[in-house]
Amino acid sequence: MENDDICHLSAVELREHYRRRELSPVAVTEAILARIERLNPALTAFVTVTPELAIEQARQAERAYAAGGSPGRLAGIPISIKDLTPTKGIRTTRGSLLDPDWEPDFDAPFVERVYAAGAVMLGKTNTPELGWKGETSNRLVGSTQNPWRHGRTAGGSSGGAAAAVAAGLGPLAQGGDGAGSIRIPAGFCGIVGLKPSFGLVPNYPPSATGDLSHPGPMTRTVRDAALLLDVVAGADVRDRLSWSSGVDHLTAIEGGVSGLRVAWSPDLGYAPVEPAVRELTTVAARRFADLGCAVEEANPGLPDPWPIVDAIWASAQAGFHLERGDLDAVRDRLDPGRLEVIERARHLTGAEVAAARIRREAYYQAMCGFMERFDLLLTPTLPLTAFAAGADQPGQVAGVPTDYLSWTPFTYPFNLTGQPACSVPCGFGPDGLPVGGLQIVGRWRDDATVLRAAAAFEAIAPWAHHRPDLD
C-alpha cells in the first residue's frame, strides 16, 4: 500500500490492519509524520509536532499488538490535539503572543483518555487567539490554509485540526466548539465534526465561555467519530457538569434510521444562505426520505439568538483579561479583532449579561418544545463556502452584512441548548470547495441517534474517497 493511501485510512481501518498484522503502527506513524513534514509548511495545520513522542507511543502499540493481548481502543492510531487544550510538557500556545511558550504540567481529561487508549500523539493544531473566531489565523504562526484551495480559510477555531484531517495528517483530531468551532472547520474542509451533548466529554480546565464550550471529535468518517467519542466520553470529577451516558456509540450507530421523524430547515427562519449551499443541502436533506425517514420542512419559529451569544461570548473574552488584570499591559499583543470584541464587551453591565442568560434559558425551553415533534433537525452547517484565509469573517452572506460570529447562524444555537450536533460532508459547490456541510441535530443528550443518522447518510452519500490535491 502506498504511503499516501496509508495516510488516508480511517482509524477503524487501521485497527483492523494492525490486528491482522498487515500494517505496523510505527510504519503508519512514520508515514504520517513524513507527510506532515512535507505539507505542513504550506498548510500551517500544526503549530507543534511531537515526532519523538509519536514514535515511542507507536512502538508501545506495536508491542501491545504483538503480545496478542488486548490493545487499547486507539492503540497505534495517530491523533492531534488542538493548541488550546493543555498537554503536559508539550508547548501549548493557545494561538496567542501572551504565553507562547507555555508548557502545562498536566493533561486535559481528553488527552489523558486518548493516551490511556493507546493513541499516538502527533502534535498540536493551530487555532486563533484563545479560539475567539470562526477562522484560524493568529499573530504567532499565521493562517491555516484550506487543503482544498490555498488562500481560503479552513474555518475555526479548530481550523488546524480540520485541515490536518482533510489533508491526511492523521485520522483523528480533537476540537473544541464554543459557537461552532468544530462544525465550522469541518464544513469548510469536508470532514466530520461532532459537537457532543454538553458535558458528555469533560472540559478541564473550564473554558472562559463556560457551558457554551464542548470538546469533541473531528474525523474523516462517522465511525471514527463514534470510536473517539467512546474513548473520551464520561464524567470526570474535575468538571462538575460532566456526565456519563453508558452508551457504546460505535455499536449504537448500526441499524439505520427508518421511521424517524426529521425536520429540515434551510434557514431556521432567519438566516441568509448562499443559493448553492441551500440547493445542495436541500438535496442532501431529502436523502433522508430515501433512508425511510418522514421528512418535513419546518422551522422552530424562534428568533436569531445571536444577541444572546454575542453578550455571553464577548463578555467571556473580556472576563479573561479582567481576571488576569492585564488588558492595558498586553493590548498591543492581542489580535486586533479580538481586542475590538473585548472593548465592546467592557460596556456591557452584569445585568445585561444576566438578562442574556435568562433569554438563553427561554430559547432552550422553546427548542426542546420544537424537538418534541421530531427525532432530528437538519440544517446547513454553514451558509457559504470558505472565504479568504486571514479574514476574521466573510463580511457578508447573500448580501447581508455579518459580525465576528454572526455569519455562523446554524451552529451557535446548539451551543446555547447543549444539543448534540454533527456536520457531515454533502458535496462541492460551483467553486469546487466543500459546501459547508449538512448539520444533523439531535434531541437533548441523544448523541447515539445523531451518529446513527450520520452513518446512514454516509452509507448512501459517501465522501471519504474525496481527497484534496496537495501533490
Active-site residue set? 82, 157, 181
- Rounded Cα gap, residues 365 and 12, in angstroms: 38
Quick one: CA dihedral 135, 139, 140, 146, positive or negative? Answer: positive
Backbone angles phi, psi at 263, to 5 degrees: -95, 135
**HEC profile for the chain?**
CCHHHHHCCCHHHHHHHHHCCCCCHHHHHHHHHHHHHHHHHHHCCEEEECHHHHHHHHHHHHHHHHCCCCCCCCCCCEEEEECCCCCCCCCCCCCCCCCCCCCCCCCCHHHHHHHHCCCEEEEEECCCHHHCCCCCEECCCEECEECCEEEEECCCCCHHHHHHHHCCCCCEEEEEECCCCCHHHHHHHCCEEEECCCCCCCCCCCCCCHHHCEEEEEECCHHHHHHHHHHHCCCECCECCCCCCCCCHHHHCCCCCCCCEEEECCCCCCCCCCHHHHHHHHHHHHHHHHCCCEEEECCCCCCCCHHHHHHHHHHHHHHHHHHHCCHHHHHHHCCHHHHHHHHHHCCCCHHHHHHHHHHHHHHHHHHHHHHCCCCEEEEECCCCCCCECCCCCCCEECCEECCCCCCCCCCCHHHHHCCCEEEECCCECCCCCECCCEEEEECCCCHHHHHHHHHHHHHHCCCCCCCCCCC
Cell 444562505 belongs to: 273
Amino acid (one-letter) located at 107 = D
